[in-house]
């Protein structure tokens, strides 16, 4: 019997020697260092501007909001400031309580999302406003433009613009919508060159802030600081933060040209820098240069679109890894039928079809799983696939995004430093011969080593890990903004407090009157001594 056991053991050893346990090839190993942290994530979202009314009034509007807030779980809403804009119908919206914007905001709240709100001014101010002037004699530009008027002393009226922006925020507060960030200009570097097809200035042309003042136009940095100070005076600790510059393109030198004087003159006014990606060199070299600003400021990508869905996915990974952005906001959240670059298509007819486009699913790969407060962590690999990894604050979740832009299939085995994997999920989207043949968010089951990453694909791997036993969740109690009114009542928290105090004071006075009358009725005054 002992001899048989010995023979069996020898055979088993020979088998194990001939067929060793799987070991990842070095080139397939993707190492994630949870201790090497980068930027903290603020979130994901889209702009809700034109065509929003079609979605709000559609018979399937609740389905649309389910797609936005239950599927992609967007937590950032970008709205357009409509205070005194050129279009009369749009200009009426603020005083009506921004019904369309509030519908979107409430849809988020109803679905458990506490949205961050960014309001951007397109500079489409009514040209009849006293502080808006038309300039057609500036020899340094190719086209006329609109800019800030000067006062009787020849100084630009930055204080008037600042008061105007305060009123813009008040309209949102009155509508029941908090404003967390405010941008005073959209694509600032282009606003001096807005012409129609005949070379004439468009009525809806933007408002021009130069890098520095000239005798012809005002400058951005003075306007930024003026609005910041006016917000602080009007709203105190509840003042919206000013999003810096919001340029059309992302270049380090361009952002510096608009923001260096802001930083020099009023550094406390700048926490977050925003930019778009139109006309941007999307190379690693350029994005890393822009990312140099992330050492001192949060960077937000606030607008872009691309109807090449998997190219868009690659840019998203690059933005987080190379530039260190904290937030990614797509352009057209809902839009009319186009070439597929929007997130959700909707028609003017309330009974028309609605459709999620490819970018809906590309965004969902990120936004549904990478939440506000997550941190990006370092990834090292030797593959052609691009990776971005994010961990939850307590390290109980690790999300690895893998975008394979190559034409060949690759394989990966994750090295997460020996951490135990308690559970996992793998979601895969693959590019077809055309956009109608793409397949999105396929559930591939649980993670396994030597995981296949198909060519031209986007993959999200969600790992559940043992949380950090020493992690203590910060006790953060979000203060209620007292300036935001309850829709339909026109009453803010401050008003409610004032009413309560007034009622209490009235009650005290009434009680005192009753006591006095009661005493007098008994024939006594408060000073009378009781008689024997």
pLDDT per residue over 343-358, tens digit each? 999 999 999 999 999 9
In tens, the pLDDT along 477-530 reads: 778 999 999 986 655 554 444 444 444 445 554 544 444 455 444 443 333 333
The share of the chain scoring above pLDDT 70, in percent, equals 84
Alpha-carbon gap, residue 438 to 368, rounded angstroms:
20
Whether the pLDDT of residue 377 is over 90: the answer is: yes
Rounded to 10°, the helix 252-265/284-291 angle is 0
Q: Could you read off the pLDDT of 169-208 as tens digits, one per residue?
A: 999 999 999 999 999 999 988 765 555 445 555 555 568 8
The secondary structure of 113-126 as a DSSP string is: ---EEEEE----B-
Q: How many CA atoms lie within 13 A of 44 on its CB side?
A: 25
Residue 399's alpha-carbon distances to 371, 380, 460, 469, in angstroms, are: 10, 15, 7, 20
Given a cut of 50, whether residue 66 has pLDDT beyond it is yes
Please give the pLDDT value at position 510. Answer: 54
Q: Give me the mean pLDDT over the 140-152 stretch.
A: 86
Tell me what the pLDDT averaged over the chain comes to: 88
Q: What is the reported pTM?
A: 0.88
The 10s digit of each residue's pLDDT in 445-475 is: 999 999 999 999 999 999 999 999 999 988 8
Helix and strand element counts for the chain (H, E)? 12, 24
Per-residue model confidence (pLDDT) at position 492 = 56
Among 191, 301, 181, 304, smallest CA distance to 243 is for 181
State the average pLDDT over residues 139-163: 91
Q: Helix 252-265 crosses helix 220-235 at what angle (to 10 degrees)?
A: 50
- Apex CA 499: angle with CA 498 and CA 501, to 5°? 65
Q: What is the DSSP secondary structure assignment for residue 43, as one 8-state letter?
A: E
For residue 267, give both structure tokens: 């550094």
E-only strand ranges, 165-286: 181-183, 241-247, 272-276
What size, in residues, is the chain? 532
Dihedral over Cα of 114, 304, 309, 335: its sign: positive
User: Looking at residue 509, what is its pLDDT?
Assistant: 47
Are the C-beta atoms of residues 117 and 79 closer than 8 Å to each other? yes
As given in the structure block, the two tokens for residue 7 are 């023979």
Query: The tokens 């008061």 sit on which residue?
Result: 163
Q: How confident is the model over 409-425, as pLDDT tens digits? A: 999 999 999 999 999 99
pLDDT in the model for residue 139:
87
* Secondary element (H or E) of residue 498: helix 493-521
Phi, psi of 120 (to 5 degrees): -115, 135
**pLDDT above 70 (res 367):** yes
Beta-strand relationship, 76-80 and 334-335: unpaired
Percentage with pLDDT > 90 across the chain: 75
pLDDT one-digit tens code per residue, 218-260? 999 999 999 999 999 999 999 999 999 999 999 999 999 999 9
pLDDT band at 27; cut points 50, 70, 90: confident
Strands (E), 218-303: 241-247, 272-276, 298-303
Mean pLDDT of 372-395: 98
Beta-bridge partners for 301: 275, 328
Average pLDDT of the segment spanning 90-114: 98
Q: Which carries the bigger pLDDT value, residue 27 or residue 174?
A: 174
Average pLDDT over residues 86-107: 97
Strand pairing of 116-120 and 181-183?
A: parallel
């Amino acid at each position: 019997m002992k001899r048989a056991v010995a023979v069996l053991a020898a055979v088993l050893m020979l088998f194990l020697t001939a067929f060793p346990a799987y070991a990842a090839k070095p080139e397939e190993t993707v190492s994630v260092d949870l201790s090497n942290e980068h930027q903290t994530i603020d979130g994901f979202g889209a702009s809700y501007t034109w065509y929003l009314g079609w979605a709000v009034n559609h018979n399937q509007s609740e389905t649309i909001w389910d797609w936005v807030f239950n599927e992609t779980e967007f937590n950032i809403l970008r709205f357009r400031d409509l205070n005194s804009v050129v279009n009369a119908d749009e200009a009426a919206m603020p005083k009506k309580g921004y019904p369309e914007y509030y519908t979107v905001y409430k849809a988020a709240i109803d679905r458990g999302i506490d949205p961050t709100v960014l309001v951007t001014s397109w500079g489409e101010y009514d040209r009849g406003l006293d502080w808006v002037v038309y300039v057609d004699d500036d020899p340094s530009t190719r086209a006329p433009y609109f800019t800030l008027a000067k006062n009787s002393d020849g100084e630009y009226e930055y204080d008037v613009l600042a008061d105007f922006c305060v009123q813009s925020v008040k309209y949102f507060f009155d509508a029941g919508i908090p404003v967390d960030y405010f941008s005073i200009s959209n694509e600032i570097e282009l606003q001096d060159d807005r012409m129609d097809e005949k070379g004439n200035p468009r009525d809806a042309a933007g408002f021009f802030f130069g890098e520095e003042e000239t005798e012809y136009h005002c400058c951005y940095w003075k306007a930024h600081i003026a609005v910041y100070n006016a917000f602080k005076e009007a709203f105190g600790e509840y003042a919206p933060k000013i999003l810096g510059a919001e340029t059309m393109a992302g270049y380090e030198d361009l952002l510096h040209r608009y923001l260096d004087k802001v930083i020099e003159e009023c550094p406390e006014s700048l926490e977050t820098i925003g930019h778009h990606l139109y006309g941007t060199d999307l190379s690693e070299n350029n994005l890393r240069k822009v990312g140099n600003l992330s050492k001192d400021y949060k960077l937000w990508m606030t607008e872009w679109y691309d109807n090449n869905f998997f190219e868009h996915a690659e840019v998203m990974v690059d933005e987080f890894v190379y530039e260190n952005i904290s937030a990614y906001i797509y352009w057209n959240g809902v839009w009319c039928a186009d070439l597929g670059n929007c997130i959700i298509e909707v028609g003017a007819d309330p009974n028309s079809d609605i459709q999620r486009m490819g970018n809906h699913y590309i965004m969902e790969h990120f936004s549904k799983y990478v939440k506000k407060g997550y941190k990006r962590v370092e990834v090292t690999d030797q593959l052609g696939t691009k990776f971005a990894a994010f961990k939850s604050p307590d390290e109980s979740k690790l999300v690895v995004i893998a975008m394979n832009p190559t034409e060949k299939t690759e394989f990966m085995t994750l090295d997460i430093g020996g951490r135990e994997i308690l559970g996992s999920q793998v979601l895969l989207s693959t590019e077809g011969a055309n956009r109608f043949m793409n397949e999105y968010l396929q559930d591939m089951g649980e993670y396994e080593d030597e995981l296949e990453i198909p060519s031209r694909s986007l993959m999200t791997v969600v790992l559940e890990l043992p949380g950090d036993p020493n992690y203590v969740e910060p006790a953060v109690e979000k203060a209620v903004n007292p300036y935001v009114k309850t829709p339909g009542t026109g009453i803010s928290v401050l008003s409610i407090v004032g009413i309560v105090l007034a009622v209490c004071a009235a009650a005290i006075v009434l009680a005192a009157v009753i006591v006095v009358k009661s005493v007098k009725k008994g024939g006594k005054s408060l000073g009378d001594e009781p008689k024997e």
